[in-house]
Structure 1
């Protein structure tokens, strides 16, 4: 569907390093928040990196 294509394109642009603002303008969204809410899905790798980052912060702070 068009929605799936738009979602895939958004993820591709953001993962390729294209800025939020540029991706937003290309997709025609009024705000980056709307774009991120409906069209952004973090990859398993991104989720893993986030967990690793949080784990490192917890270890550094001793929390």
Structure 2
């Protein structure tokens, strides 16, 4: 099974402010949540890449 690489970045949405984002199938997806509102919070996870792969979000 081919697995897409996991990467996270920082984006800014005009109406929402800063966002935690990832690239999925060529689309930028906002994965910001109450549990993980910032990159700092993401990096405290034992496996940040697994969270990025499984996090729900919306295309921006």
TM-score between both structures, scaled by the size of structure 1: 0.28
Larger strand share, 1 or 2: 2
Larger helix share, 1 or 2: 1
TM-score between both structures, scaled by the size of structure 2: 0.29
Which structure would you say has the larger Rg? 1
